[in-house]
Amino acid sequence: MLELVRAGGWPMIPLLLLSMAALAIIVERFWTLRRKAVLPPRLGEEVRAWAARGKLDPVHVESLRQTSPLGALLAAALDVRSRPRDQIRERIEDVGRHLVHRMERFLNTLGTIAAAGPLLGLFGTVVGMIQMFLGILSHGIGDVNQLAGGIGKALVCTATGMVVAIPALMFHRYFRGRIAGYIVDMEHEAIQLLDTLEPRPASARTAPGGHGIVPPVPAS
| Most distant pair of Cα atoms in the chain: their distance | 126
Could you read off the pLDDT of 58-108 as tens digits, one per residue?
A: 888 888 899 999 999 999 988 888 888 888 889 999 999 999 999 999 999
Q: Are residues 15 and 117 in contact, defined by beta-carbon separation less than 8 angstroms?
A: yes
**Residue 31, pLDDT score:** 95
AA identity, residue 184:
V
Burial of 56 (C-beta count, 10 Å sphere; 0-12/13-18/19+): middle
Give this prediction's pTM. 0.77
The total number of residues shown for the chain amounts to 220
What's the rounded mean pLDDT across residues 144-173?
Answer: 82
**Residue 208, pLDDT score:** 43
Could you read off the pLDDT of 124-154 as tens digits, one per residue?
A: 888 777 777 776 666 666 655 556 666 767 7
AA identity, residue 176:
R
What percent of the chain stands above pLDDT 90? 43
AA identity, residue 52:
A
Q: Is 106 helix (H, G, I), strand (E, B) or coil?
A: coil
Determine the Cα–Cα distance for residues 99 and 101; give it in Å rounded to an integer.
Answer: 5
